[in-house]
Amino acid sequence: MLHFADPEAYHDIYNNRNRWDKESRLYKSFNEDRSSFGFLTYAEAKNRKDVLGRSFSQTAIEGAEPLVVKQTKALCEAFERQTKAGKSSDLLYAFRCMSMDVITTFCFGKPIYAVDAPGFQAPIVMAMDASLPVFVGFKYSDLFKNMILKCPPKLSKVLSPATSGLVDLQQLLLHQIDDLTNDPEKLKALPHNMTIYHRLLDADAYRDKTTPSAGSLYEEAQALMFGGADTVGNTLMVGAYYLLQNPEKQQTLKKELLSIWPSLNGPEPRVRDLESLPYLNAVIKESLRLSSGVISGLLRVVPPTGARIAGIDVPPGVNLHNLTEYILTLMGSQTVVSIGSTFVHYNAAIHPEPDKFVPERWLESTHLDDWLVAFSRGPRMCLGINLAWAELRLGFAHVYRKFDLVPAHPL
């Protein structure tokens, strides 16, 4: 297993020419094997992403904008209630509640109103946090994984009360999927027709006219929940942290927002209007850079032809002159490669003074975008990038236009 530090390696590993498999031990540990995220091979992932990708296209997300606006406003109303009650708000959980509300409403047609939970301590968001350490165990022991996953929900809630919010949402999704696969007519009863099920249960959308099994749909729903909620929430929180530390940058952002949204009683800007605000977009890019998206290496298997990465020839896992390695080949050994996004985002040659929050760096150079890799690159890059950008633009715009944030405690 090779981990690279040279940023050039990022584009050598993750690019549209490469159709490399994801590495199995890491990716199987999430138990989402039959989802766009969990499929190991390019072909399986493409098959699914060709269908599901239409739910997340630029046009689809424009259509979903009113839903995202509604959740963003619900967050601002919750902030107002906290302020009126003389309470501070925990921004990490507040933003995660909002992004979770977007996913459950848009993807599943099942709003859960997480932002309305007292102190933003929504059971699902707290439970997702509490459930994360278990995945490390899943990576190294199938026995442990099966034991936990096959545990009846009631018992699992007794054994691990901290994760019961997750069990509840999983049960809700399982029942929904069961209902919809048994009777697709029930799709019509969902509050809108943009859910992932409208797309995934349409047999005509597939080359072989076969829709995914209920198990695969459930794993897809899980993948979207885990992939789409924390990531957006964390980026909003990291941005807030730095804007609180740099009040003058918060004011620059507000001034720009005021220029297109002078009165809160007047017309609200659409996402399309926000796309043209240079400072807002620079703040978002800088927040994505510093939060880095997924920070661990995204493991890929070097193909049988080998690869050249950051100027180094990397063989596909074997050196036939070496007996031990030859035996390992017979056992299916592989060369696995990766580079974590932080090695790009915190590289001082690309981003001078990388630990500093400097949105201005994105205004000075457009080629810098090549070195923003929070959503990864290539055929396995983020499926939800358009939704994420819409949430980030609306989230930053509404929050900083409506409020002047100050830290409740010294930062």
Contact residues: ligand HEM, CB under 6 A: 36-37, 45, 49, 103, 223-224, 227-228, 231-232, 235, 293-294, 298, 374-376, 380, 382-384, 387-388
Q: Are 384 and 224 in contact (CB under 8 A)?
A: yes
| Residue 115 or 156 with smaller CB distance to ligand HEM | 115
DSSP class per residue in 330-344: HTT---EEE--THHH
Tokens 């050249």, located at residue = 308
Smallest separation (angstroms) from ligand HEM to the CB of 267 = 27
Taking CB atoms, the residue at the shortest distance from ligand HEM is 384
Q: Are 294 and 338 in contact (CB under 8 A)?
A: no
| Residue 63 or 328 with smaller CB distance to ligand HEM | 63
| Residue 105 or 156 with smaller CB distance to ligand HEM | 105
Question: In Å, how far from its chain's centre is CA 79?
Answer: 24
| Residue 43 or 85 with smaller CB distance to ligand HEM | 43
Longest dimension (CA), the chain: 75
Smallest separation (angstroms) from ligand HEM to the CB of 234 = 7
Class of residue 368 by CB neighbours under 10 A (exposed 0-12, middle 13-18, buried 19+): middle
Smallest separation (angstroms) from ligand HEM to the CB of 251 = 25
Smallest separation (angstroms) from ligand HEM to the CB of 48 = 8
| Residue 34 or 49 with smaller CB distance to ligand HEM | 49
Amino acid at 133: P
Known binding residue 382? Answer is yes
| Residue 200 or 387 with smaller CB distance to ligand HEM | 387
Q: Are 344 and 371 in contact (CB under 8 A)?
A: yes
Instruction: List the beta bridge partners of residue 263.
Output: none
For residue 139, CA distances in Å to 25, 164, 182 come to 6, 22, 33
- Considering only CA atoms, which of 259, 55, 49, 30 is closest in space to residue 135? 30
| Residue 29 or 89 with smaller CB distance to ligand HEM | 29
Smallest separation (angstroms) from ligand HEM to the CB of 361 = 19
Cβ count near 330 (within 10 Å): 8
Torsion angles phi and psi, residue 337, rounded to 5 = -130, 155
Residues 6+ apart with CB under 8 A from 366: none
Smallest separation (angstroms) from ligand HEM to the CB of 387 = 5
N-term to C-term CA, the chain: 39
Pairing outcome for strands 336-338 and 2-3:
parallel
Binding residues for heme: 382
Binding residues: 382
